[in-house]
Amino acid sequence: MENIKVSRRQEMETKEIMVGDQILVSLAEIGDFTATAHKITDKGVLFIFDDYVTSRPMNNRRTNEGGYEESDLKKWIDNVLLAAFPEALKSRIADLSIPTVGELFGHDDEWDNEHFEPDEDEQLPLMKERRNRVAYLDNEWEWGWLRNAVKQSFSSAGFARVYGGGDTASGRASASRGVRPEFWLVR
């Protein structure tokens, strides 16, 4: 047989995380998930879960008043999800949240810029590939929430989300959609 160039994943312990590295996160009573390093700064490493950990509404009522910061989903993330992280990670986690439109898609799309509340995030390099924007819940592709509310001039009840095919969409805040956490692991 001729030599074939292959890429192998290898598990190892290291103090130096690189973009693309994955870690396994066991969330108590929720399950085991992988998270990928997407950005490294002096602050730490930004990890985004590879799949959705659950499906929840952004708000129990059909409103985007107060945006993500005052949403029922943020309250669940801050209280229930954070508590489910293993102690070894929990003490080093900062800014547990969900991704923004900017992180996944950048700001080149005119429709997104016109309809969603802005963020200042640049598109993450790994998210330039559509397959990295697509996530699954229980082995089925799913729509998932993003942090940006729909602008009030278009809807007072919507938030941005990722369509199952990896494009942007918007949806009612009271609908259950995938929750794909992101967090900074501080150094």
**DSSP letters for 146-169:** EEEEBPTTT-SSEEEEE-TTS-EE
Q: Identify the residue whose tokens are 């952004």.
A: 58
Task: Look at residue 98 in the predicted model and tell me its pLDDT.
Answer: 98
66 Cβ neighbours under 8 A, 6+ residues apart:
none
How many C-beta atoms lie closer than 10 Å to residue 141's C-beta? 16
48 exposure class (CB count in 10 Å sphere: 0-12, 13-18, 19+): buried
Which pLDDT score, from 0 to 100, does residue 187 have? 83
pLDDT in tens, 46-105: 999 999 999 999 999 999 999 999 999 999 999 999 999 999 999 999 999 999 999 999
Boundaries of every domain in the chain: 22-186
Rounded Cα distance, 36 and 182, in Å: 9
